[in-house]
Structure 1
Amino acid sequence: MARIGYARVSTLDQDLDSQLERLRAEGCAIIRSEKVSGASRDGRVELATVIEFLRPGDELVVTRLDRLGRDTRDVLNLIHECEQRSAFVTVLDPHVSTRGEMGHIVLTVLGMVAQMERRFIKERQREGIDRAKVEGVYRGGQPRLDRGHIATLHSEGHGPAAIAKALGCSRMQVYRILQACGRSADGASRAQA
């Protein structure tokens, strides 16, 4: 029986340290982590590795339920996959485990409440943005990537894949930024084309 920890944050600028520290303190000998959105399971390679690695009696440990996913159905599917492998899922905050029948009910309710809360947050955020636009104070979100740096790297002959790898982002983000800068991915400026 092994306790396997899984930690996740959504963006590159978020920190995994507190989750990793908590999982170590809980006795997780193996911990897998990644910086990727929890909106879907696409691209969550470390989570797939953990699920594949689970053996009967093992326990998948996460600090919070939303580390497994944002959608209740997706979280329940993950829990079901773990159970198909005769493994358990334990959430540390609040402490709930699928070892008992009550744990399943509590995890389902927690997942539904978390999903509903995310919807409320998005609604309040949208209302705040609309209000700020009306008042003329809305500036939009801060760009996470330095567009000038990407354009410079591209003009130096680096391709979108190399730029994405160097900056730790997706190629699609690089393509979008180059397009917004009026450059094509093959290096030609739109003004020259």
Structure 2
Amino acid sequence: MLVGYARTSTHDQVAGFEDQIEHLKRLGVEKVFAEQASAVGDRPQLASCLDFLREGDTLIVTRLDRLCRSTAHFCEVFDRLERKGAAIRVLDLGIDTSSPTGRMVAEIVVAVAAFERRLLLERQRVGIAAAKAQGKYRGRAPTARRRFAEVIELRRAGVLPAEIAIRLGISRSSVFRALREAKASAMP
């Protein structure tokens, strides 16, 4: 079955939205999932579309950016459809994973994304090591720990732990940790 997905970011993009749907229908798409939503927000139609696809189906999109917000997101979608036995056809790039060449192109995109991720992590490790060597890196400052004195003060005033967490904007577990540490340090 040919399944289409069309998306625009805003409701103002009516012409582009309708053009995508018409293009998909001209290609013989039997079911079109369409929505006008930002790529970074919640996309219920995309979720429904990916759930709907079955083995042997082909998902068709007019442009890759209508489907995926990043290379990493493409990797997720590609992997999910691979496990289902479904293919992807991206019209503007000529990718069709039902053919050996299209599959290779998609796999290259996935490999590039993995390579980018490894480079990013390596640069991050090198940067952290250099900062530590210069004494500039101490990690993320524990935000709740800075508020432990206030936790103790509020608890002594009779405020319950759940309320303390809400008032100070910290987790309940941080409140209990502060109370445990205060109790342990008070013991002889």
TM-score, with structure 2 as normaliser: 0.54
Q: CA–CA distance in 2 between the matches of 1:21 and 1:47? A: 18
Give the match for residue 116 of structure 1: none
Residue 24 of structure 2 aligns to a residue whose secondary structure is helix
Which stretches of structure 1, 4 residues or longer, exceed 4 Å deviation after superposition? 108-112
Q: CA–CA distance in 2 between the matches of 1:110 and 1:64? A: 15
The offset of 1:36, in angstroms, is: 0.8
Residue 5 of structure 1 aligns to a residue whose secondary structure is strand
CA contact (8 A) 2:94 2:102 kept: no
Rate the CA distance shift 1:70–1:57 in 2: closer, same or farther, 3 A: same
Q: Partner amino acid for 1:103?
A: G
Q: CA–CA distance in 1 between the matches of 2:66 and 2:74? A: 9
Rate the CA distance shift 1:66–1:107 in 2: closer, same or farther, 3 A: farther
The offset of 1:92, in angstroms, is: 1.1
2:64 corresponds to 1:65: yes
Larger radius of gyration: 2
2:39 corresponds to 1:38: yes
CA RMSD, aligned part only?
2.3
Q: CA–CA distance in 2 between the matches of 1:9 and 1:103? A: 25
Render the CA deviation track for 1:91-128: whole Å, top value 9, x for unaligned: 1113211113432442466797xxxxxxxxxxxxxxxx
CA contact (8 A) 1:72 1:108 kept: no
TM-score, with structure 1 as normaliser: 0.52
Give the match for residue 151 of structure 2: none
Bigger share in helix: 2
Gaps of 5+ in 1: 113-193
Q: CA–CA distance in 2 between the matches of 1:77 and 1:104? A: 15
The offset of 1:83, in angstroms, is: 1.1
Give the match for residue 26 of structure 1: 27
Give the match for residue 90 of structure 1: 89
Gaps of 5+ in 2: 113-188
Give the count of matched residue pairs.
111
